[in-house]
């Protein structure tokens, strides 16, 4: 991996280092990747950025849908105009209408001044609809009408205002299933789904795990005045084998936690990572949870060391089977919670109630 300090602390896909426009777009959007899967999506972004057609981004939570939407905006001829993100999952009824349409003074009790809505604030830029699958069914028809007619009125107003922004929507829901179930309008879905783009999960772009981890650790290390933080090979092995259900967001948050809590000058080890990640190594704990250093090989034959390894493996497997409940872990092991606490302290293990 290239030095993460290059290009202002960000790294770019191969072949873009010499392209100033691409470099600027990547920096502004904050999209970081090396994998072939994301390079292919970047090429798609370049192809569709100049279009006015709506884009529907799909993917698991934490895959970077808003960042990708910002990349599309930055690559387009709208880049100098507003990028207005709206979380549709927290709006319903009149709150939804007011957020998007805005209101005139006196439109309702408490409306003392003119308030522009998102349709108006986006102007001729990009309106990003996050969690678009959460738009209440009752509000979907009004939303569709704006997309079709490209005009709207503020609440309490009678003047038609033009809607000129490009729509980029995102969801982690299966909208076709919602359409079949009657929870999402088919006509709105087809209006939004002109250019569908599916963002891969982090486990599907595993080549990005190591450079992203190194970058985020570098970033937060400098933020918290710990610039020499580095990951050991054992820690990196744990990270690259983790399934990352929270995707890039989960990895970023973990590296911030590591930067805050790792106070020594030594590399970040596997034991410094959350237990639930290390549980994925439980079947081969004696191998994965620490290859003996020079001078320690004979200790592997020590009976106390063998008991320690066996008890550690048993506790980790029980904790995994108990879905993070320490009470249930103790029950599965056939010991009291007090004994479990003693064993955990004895072996330096940290279990958090799930």
Enumerate the β-bridge partners of residue 86.
129
Full DSSP string of 261-276: H--SSSPBPGGGS-HH
Domains 6-200 and 279-287+300-354 share a fold: no
Residue 229: what pLDDT?
A: 93
Q: Classify residue 301 by its DSSP letter.
A: G
pLDDT given at position 28:
45
- Does residue 219 contact residue 227 with C-beta atoms inside 8 Å? no
Six-digit token string for 91: 């709006």
Give buried/exposed letters for 202-217 (b at 16+ CB in 10 A, else e): bebbbebbbbbbbbbb
Measure CA 227 to chain center.
Answer: 24
Whole-number pLDDT of residue 309 = 78
Q: What does the pLDDT look like over 35-66, one tens digit per residue? A: 888 889 989 999 999 999 999 999 999 999 99
**Percent of the chain topping pLDDT 90:** 51
Structure tokens at 220: 């937060």
Domain boundaries, the chain: 6-200, 202-273, 279-287+300-354
Predicted pLDDT of residue 179: 97
Identify whether the C-beta of residue 67 lies closer than 8 Å to the C-beta of residue 29.
yes
CA atoms within 13 A on the CB side of 305: 12
| Mean per-residue pLDDT of the chain | 84
| pLDDT at 18 > cutoff 90 | no
Pure H helices in the chain: 6-9, 20-29, 36-49, 65-75, 93-101, 118-121, 137-149, 175-180, 186-192, 209-223, 233-241, 247-261, 275-278, 285-288, 303-321, 326-333, 337-347
CA distances to 96, 143, 193, 211 from 139, rounded to whole Å, are 7, 6, 18, 42
236-259 burial, b at 16+ Cβ within 10 Å, e below that, comes to bebbeebebebbbebbbebbbebb
Give pLDDT tens digits for 161-212: 999 999 999 999 999 999 999 999 999 999 999 999 999 999 999 999 998 9
Q: Model's pTM, two decimal places?
A: 0.74
Specify the pairing of strand 151-152 against strand 126-130: unpaired
6 pLDDT more than 60? no
Cβ–Cβ < 8 Å for 186, 137: no
Classified by CATH at the fold level, domain 279-287+300-354 comes out as Arc Repressor Mutant, subunit A (1.10.10)
How does pLDDT run across 49-108, given as a tens digit for each residue? Answer: 999 999 999 999 999 999 999 999 999 999 999 999 999 988 887 888 999 999 999 888
Element housing 102 (H / E): strand 102-103
Which CATH number applies to 6-200: 2.40.50.100, 3.30.70.100, 3.40.1190.20, 3.40.50.300?
Answer: 3.40.50.300
CATH assignment of 202-273, among 1.10.8.60, 3.30.2320.80, 2.70.170.10, 3.10.20.520 = 1.10.8.60
Please tell me the predicted confidence (pLDDT) of residue 1.
41
Nearest C-alpha neighbor of 96 from the set 137, 126, 65: 137
């Amino acid at each position: 991996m290239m030095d993460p300090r290059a290009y202002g602390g960000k790294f770019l896909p191969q072949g873009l280092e010499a392209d100033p426009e691409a470099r600027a777009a990547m920096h502004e959007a904050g999209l970081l990747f090396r994998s072939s899967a994301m390079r292919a999506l970047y090429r798609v972004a370049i192809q569709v950025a100049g279009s006015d057609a709506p884009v529907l981004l799909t993917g698991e939570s934490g895959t970077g849908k808003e960042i990708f939407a910002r990349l599309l905006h930055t690559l387009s001829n709208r880049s100098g105009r507003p990028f207005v993100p709206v979380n549709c999952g927290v709006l319903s009824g009149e709150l939804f209408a007011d957020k998007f349409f805005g209101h005139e003074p006196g439109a309702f009790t408490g409306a003392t001044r003119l308030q522009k809505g998102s349709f108006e604030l986006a102007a001729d830029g990009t309106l990003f609809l996050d969690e678009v699958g959460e738009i209440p069914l009752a509000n979907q028809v009004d939303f569709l009408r704006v997309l079709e007619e490209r005009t709207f009125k503020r609440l309490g107003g009678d003047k038609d205002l033009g809607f000129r922004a490009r729509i980029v929507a995102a969801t982690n829901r299966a909208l076709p299933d919602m359409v079949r179930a009657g929870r999402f309008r088919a006509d709105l879905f087809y209006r939004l789904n002109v250019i569908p783009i599916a963002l891969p999960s982090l486990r599907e772009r595993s080549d990005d795990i190591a450079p992203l981890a190194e970058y985020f650790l570098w970033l937060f290390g400098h933020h918290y005045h710990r610039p020499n933080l580095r990951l050991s090979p054992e820690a990196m092995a744990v990270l690259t084998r983790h399934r990352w259900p929270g995707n890039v967001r989960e990895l970023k948050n973990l590296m911030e936690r590591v930067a805050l809590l790792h106070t020594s000058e030594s590399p970040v080890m596997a034991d410094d990572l959350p237990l639930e990640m290390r549980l994925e190594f439980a079947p081969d704990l004696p191998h994965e949870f620490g290859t003996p250093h020079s001078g320690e090989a004979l200790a592997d034959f020590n009976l106390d060391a063998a008991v320690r390894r066996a008890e550690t493996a048993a506790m980790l497997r029980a904790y995994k089977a108990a879905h993070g409940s320490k009470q249930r872990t103790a029950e599965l092991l056939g010991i009291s919670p007090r004994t479990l606490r003693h064993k955990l302290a004895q072996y330096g293990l940290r279990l958090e109630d799930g």
